[in-house]
Structure 1
Amino acid sequence: MCERSRFHMEPRCGMLRVVPIRTKRWNDPREVEDGYRLLICRYRPRGVPRDEETWDAWCKALAPSEELHAAAYGKSGAPISFAEYTERFRVEMERQRYWIESFAARVRSGETMTLLCSSACVHEARCHRILVKTLIEEAAFPPPPPTPQANVIRRRS
């Protein structure tokens, strides 16, 4: 789920953890709560002078490949489902672990980050920025290992 609040709270082992990652379009107004604004589009927005950029950095490595983007929009056949898109995007991002881990370290240290996508991307729930957010959160806050007791099966005698 994409939140437009400062923090997204999620239950984790009976406690709440703060996940300082937001998502927006690159042309959404900058807010103090945005923190580090990272553009994750394959292409830099056209016609935006460098001194008017609304982002702090651009990481096109976290964008879908041209092939996956074309498949999502049905450029050479029927559009693929979002479930298939998600699966294929996750496979592509396995090659981008360096970037995911780098941004996860920033989030782990408490830095707020806002992931930015295209101004034309109006369906946040079907955008790769939600998938990137999830990947960074998973890397920043991995689930705790299971307790030894969870692996014990008790048999009644």
Structure 2
Amino acid sequence: MIQCKRVYDAPSGQDGYRVLVDRLWPRGVKKTDLNYDEWCKDLAPSSELRKAFHADVLDFAAFREAYLAELADKRETGLPLKAKSKSGVLTLLYAAKDTRQNHALVLAQWLESLSISK
């Protein structure tokens, strides 16, 4: 199972394996204060794509499409996280304010769609 959670929300016992999926470290959070198992910058949107989305150059639909195109080349990087989600809960941590339109949700859907066997 894959779920998404803001880094600013309190951790819970149901979070399982917690992975930070932002390219940049979240503002106002000390590295020693964040309860996480892995920081996976490689699956975060590129800096250019992130900046375009936050500057409202792209709407969410266009951002999602461009981000999925970036993820297409990162299957091998995503497979270990997919495997974690098959053996327990995988929580993708993100810092975005919008809980309904953010890259972690797109990443979660992409990971769900990955097939472990080629």
TM-score, normalising length: structure 2: 0.88
- 1:126 aligned counterpart, secondary structure: coil
Q: Which residue of 1 aligns with 2:113?
A: 138
Contact 2:83 2:116 in 1 (8 A): no
Using the alignment, how far apart are the partners of 2:20 and 2:98 within structure 1? 17
Q: Relative to structure 1, is the Cα distance of residues 44 and 83 closer, same or farther in structure 2, using a 3 angstrom cutoff?
A: same
Q: Relative to structure 1, is the Cα distance of residues 125 and 47 closer, same or farther in structure 2, using a 3 angstrom cutoff?
A: closer
Using the alignment, how far apart are the partners of 1:98 and 1:140 within structure 2? 11
1:141 Cα deviation after fit: 7.8
Using the alignment, how far apart are the partners of 2:30 and 2:51 within structure 1? 27
- Per-residue CA deviation, residues 114-138 of structure 1 (Å, 9 max, x unaligned), is 00001xx222221000011001111
Q: Which residue of 1 aligns with 2:91?
A: 114
1:33 is aligned to 2:19:
no
**Structure 1 gaps, min length 5:** 1-19, 143-157
Using the alignment, how far apart are the partners of 2:106 and 2:39 within structure 1? 17
Q: Residue type of the partner of 2:106? A: L
1:88 is aligned to 2:63:
no
Using the alignment, how far apart are the partners of 2:38 and 2:71 within structure 1? 19
Q: Which residue of 2 aligns with 1:56?
A: 37
**Structure 2 gaps, min length 5:** none
Of the two structures, which has the highest relative contact order with CA contacts closer than 8 Å and spacing of 6 or more? 2
4+ runs deviating over 4 angstroms: none
1:66 is aligned to 2:44:
no
Aligned residues with identical type, % of pairs: 31
Q: Relative to structure 1, is the Cα distance of residues 47 and 84 closer, same or farther in structure 2, using a 3 angstrom cutoff?
A: closer
Q: Residue type of the partner of 1:42? A: R
Based on CA coordinates, which of the two structures has the bigger radius of gyration? Answer: 1
